[in-house]
A and B are shown apart, each in its own frame.
Chain A
Amino acid sequence: MSYPEFGDIPALAAALDAAGYLPDEGVATAAYLAIRMRRPLLLEGDPGVGKTALAQALADVVGAELVRLPCYEGIDASQALYDWDFPRQLLHLRAAEGGGDERSVYDRRFLIARPILRALELSPAVLLVDEIDRADDEFEAFLLEVLADNAVTIPELGTIRPAEPPIVVLTSNRTRELHDALKRRCLYHWVSHPDLEREVEIIRRHEPEVADRLARQVAAGVAAMRAAGLVKPPGIAEAIDWATALRLLGATELTPPAVRATLGALLKYREDQVTAERDVLPGLLARLP
């Protein structure tokens, strides 16, 4: 089975839109080329700009399953690729004691497919390698090998090569620099925060009960916070949380008491809350749309 082809970029953008992800021009082009060229897509950007959500939407759009590989320090092939199920192998040996064929313990049914192998076996699939910068750099070399061949060789079993290689999305928060060899293989996209109109639309999508006026005010407020040089500028998820909190409190517009009561949904650092109350909120509340 192959992936559906999208005639042009706007067609894919519309499909992503229908899947609940509002892409801007750059994201739509990146996704389009990732599908057409079968090239891994490396997404970087501030936390909370929707990098992971894009992978999910992409999977919905091409009708494939999303296989997620969250990376962490110390991850290795047995957690990313495959592992042998030793307890089952042992039981099998015990059961077949005496007459058992030793080779039969290296059978597919004793193999545990970890995310990469699962993505290759599923075909079609979207493989999300999340926060690759958290893994050690040796892991990158290993990943590079898999991405180059789109195949996995298991010494005891042979090579597994899917008819249709998965669409691969990698995300990074830039806690360290990735090797150029990996980047060279990928399309690179920096995901920036959405502009005001897009953010209003995203908030309204996730919180349909929030009035248009409040959604606009929330988006404007979040934009002002991002420009204020906070320790942790709020992402889209925080903006949605904020709108939800305001709705639950029955607010129809941003007022000083409503903001003070819900600020914890938006800003998670004490310093940021102090800065926002002192520098951002007075000006913001005075000129709300």
Chain B
Amino acid sequence: MSADPVAELTAFARSLREAGVTADASRVVAAAGALDHVDVLDRHQVYWTTRLTLCSEPDDLPRFDAAFAEWFGDRPSPAAVESTVQIPGRAGSSGDGAAARVERVAATALETLRTRDVAALTAAERAEVRRLIALLAPSVGTRRSVRRRPGGRAGVDPVRTMRTMLRAGGEPIVLARWRRREKPRRLVLLVDVSGSMAPYADWLLLFAHAAVRVRPFATEAFTVGTRLTRVTRALRLRDPDAALQAAAQTVPDWSGGTRLGESLQAFLDRWGQRGAARGAVVVIFSDGWERGGAELLGQQAARLRRLAHAVVWVNPHKGKEGFTPETAGMLAALPYVDALLAGHTVATLADLAAVMRTI
């Protein structure tokens, strides 16, 4: 680090914030404090110390590594979240690893990483759609939780009974009882933003925004396409325009290809299986166009069905006359879907909201 470490640290944190890492002031103060305890001439120690204090989630780590490399030269540790593991030893194994890497690079190059232009909607349209969709206030029902609350007739609550006895000098005058508490059921929205869904993506994200606004902490929203992107945080913004703008900046694969099976697998691996999909209502917005094999999509849909409370598939083409679910992806996933709905107009979105409420 240079002569004035604090100034350099502040500038570094600013570049991190530009890259999307929440390196706010209090974290910078913590980093400055932490650097006091380590050897600032040792790049490894500086790397780990700043990473420990400035990052706060796994998504931050690749951004941090890139920014660190830019500022201080090559990052000393390749510790990424998904590390490529190679089997050392015999000849040929390293060749396999290299081939896999080339494949991955090629796949990335295939993605059309375009950033979506939200301004494509006219202001009048946007205002009207926003008003109508916000009125839907989509949400799902409740589930019984293991938590108890006072009242009801379910059973005797010994602790509270004892407490009232204490007040009455040890006589059990009133039996305190409890009842089960209801909790909002989790809702997960997966919005396909690939090229074939482009005319609907805005509408659907607005719908997702309305849902997130109703229950910000029981709702998760993701976009799927060539990759999985979590947009819940962006959609928590109050203003629909600002939320859509923020979401558009987060999503790298607007109007790209579709690898629905892989995206769904990524969702289940990183979020779904750990809890986000367990007992949740999962709504998938997609036309089922699948560039990858439909077999993977079928497997993952089955896996999703085992975790979720209900799976709703929204296909904009369903509302059109003569629709039969004939895209390969749609056919593969159909056996695991509880309801197949349209959702290409505000009216059909209202139907969807009604179905979600009763599920």
Say how far A32's CB is from chain B's closest CB, in angstroms.
7
Q: Which residue in B52, B146, B147 is a CB contact (below 8 Å) of A188?
A: B52
Which residues of chain A (41-73) have a CB below 8 Å from chain B?
44, 73
CB pair B85–A226 under 8 Å, yes or no, is: yes
Closest to B92 in A: A287
CB pair A73–B56 under 8 Å, yes or no, is: no
Closest to A289 in B: B89
Q: Which residue in B45, B80, B96, B145 is a CB contact (below 8 Å) of A74?
A: B145
CB pair A73–B146 under 8 Å, yes or no, is: yes
CB pair B53–A187 under 8 Å, yes or no, is: yes
CB pair B87–A29 under 8 Å, yes or no, is: no
CB pair B52–A8 under 8 Å, yes or no, is: no
Say how far A163's CB is from chain B's closest CB, in angstroms.
22
Q: Is A142 an interface residue (CB 8 A)?
A: no
Would A183 and B56 be within 8 Å (CB), given that A33-B49, A287-B87, A289-B88 are in contact? Answer: yes
Alpha-carbon separation in the docked complex, A273 to B72 (Å): 44
User: What does the 1/0 interface line of A63-105 toward B look like (CB < 8 Å)?
Assistant: 0000000000110001000000011011001100100000001
Q: Is A241 an interface residue (CB 8 A)?
A: no
Q: Which residue in A137, A189, A192, A271 is a CB contact (below 8 Å) of B52?
A: A189
Alpha-carbon separation in the docked complex, A184 to B24 (Å): 9
Q: Which residue in A25, A36, A74, A187 is a CB contact (below 8 Å) of B44?
A: A25
Alpha-carbon separation in the docked complex, A160 to B147 (Å): 29
CB pair A93–B169 under 8 Å, yes or no, is: yes
Interface size class of B (residues with CB under 8 A): 35 or more
Contacts of B56 in A (CB 8 A): 180, 183-184, 188
User: What does the 1/0 interface line of B83-107 toward A look like (CB < 8 Å)?
Assistant: 1111111101100100000000000
Closest to B48 in A: A29
Would A188 and B55 be within 8 Å (CB), given that A29-B49, A87-B162 are in contact? Answer: yes
Contacts of B145 in A (CB 8 A): 73-74
CB pair B166–A29 under 8 Å, yes or no, is: no
Interface size class of A (residues with CB under 8 A): 35 or more
Q: Which residue in A9, A26, A90, A231 is a CB contact (below 8 Å) of B38?
A: A9
27 cross-chain CB contacts under 8 A: A9-B45, A25-B44, A29-B48, A30-B48, A32-B37, A33-B49, A37-B34, A73-B146, A73-B147, A90-B162, A90-B165, A93-B166, A133-B275, A175-B276, A183-B56, A188-B55, A190-B55, A190-B81, A192-B79, A220-B89, A223-B86, A226-B85, A227-B84, A231-B303, A284-B87, A287-B90, A289-B87
Residues on A lying within 8 angstroms of B by beta carbon are 8-9, 24-26, 29-30, 32-33, 36-37, 39, 44, 73-74, 78, 86-87, 89-90, 93-94, 97, 105, 133, 137, 173-177, 180, 183-184, 187-190, 192-193, 196, 220, 223-224, 226-227, 229, 231-232, 271, 283-284, 287-289
The 5 closest A-B pairs by CB, nearest first: A175-B275, A289-B89, A86-B162, A29-B48, A223-B85
Beyond the given A93-B169, A174-B270, please list 11 additional residue pairs across the A-B interface where CB-CB is below 8 A: A9-B38, A25-B44, A33-B37, A73-B146, A86-B163, A90-B170, A180-B22, A183-B57, A184-B27, A220-B87, A289-B88
